[in-house]
Structure 1
Amino acid sequence: MVKLKVIPGMILAKAPPWTRKRTLAGFIVKNGPPWLGRPEELSPAQLAVVVDFAEKAHRLYGTTGKMNYKGVDMPAIAVKLAGEMKKGVGAYGGVSPEDRRRERYTRTERVSLPHLRSLLEKKRAEITRAGMRLVTGE
């Protein structure tokens, strides 16, 4: 029997049968999401999904049996829950991928070559003032 220690920020997950990763009795250790254990770091849209999912799952608690979903027998509670959840981009108030891409593009500052040259000169002056030597590829 293997004794496992709890590693903060890590998840013990069942490995799929086709994995090439080293497994520990069929399990792999992987990094969790950045908000693991810190729900306050979720966005409002993510929190809305979590709350909605928890409420619907709580209401369906006790559902037993299997249902055929796309040719696969799945637990009935999973099929019913998937049918009740809202779907699509922005269903819970999130941002569409296009809007996210546009925001990322406009958020990045455009820098000109003269600005970069002046920044380099400032850095060289700071290093010279500090008495250190600047090594460049010139």
Structure 2
Amino acid sequence: MDDKINILMVDDHPGKLVSYEAILEELGENLIKAHSASEALQHLLKTEIAVVLMDVNMPELDGFELGKMIHAHPRFQNTAIIFISGVRLTDLDRLKGIRGMWERLRRLNGTLEIGSNGRGTRVTATIPLQGTTSPMRQGFA
């Protein structure tokens, strides 16, 4: 039985997907690439995805909107989403991300810590995961 989880990486820049893959491959999990929001949705519909790692700034549909669409579907309400941005986010972008994260954490009885280290805002979220067997999943429990 394959114990690996599926991690979906979504970015419209192929070079960034290669970078994410190089960083994450040592986890030993299944890494799936999507070059657009629509491609990501196709993967989600046909594959069980545990974590979505996605760019905030995509031309077709931004990451925040895609994240809302994903979590609106009952099948994906427990799917973890990690937003990535290579550009400086506006305060409105930060609030969108934090609001979505807070709503999700509240449903899952998680905790949210927001702080600053002098160089920017740091957000730490703790989400209880159930039924975990993978070492990666245990590390996040």
Q: TM-score, normalised by structure 1?
A: 0.24
Q: TM-score, normalised by structure 2?
A: 0.23
> Using CA pairs below 8 Å that are at least 6 residues apart, which structure has the higher relative contact order?
2
Whose strand fraction is larger, Structure 1's or Structure 2's?
2
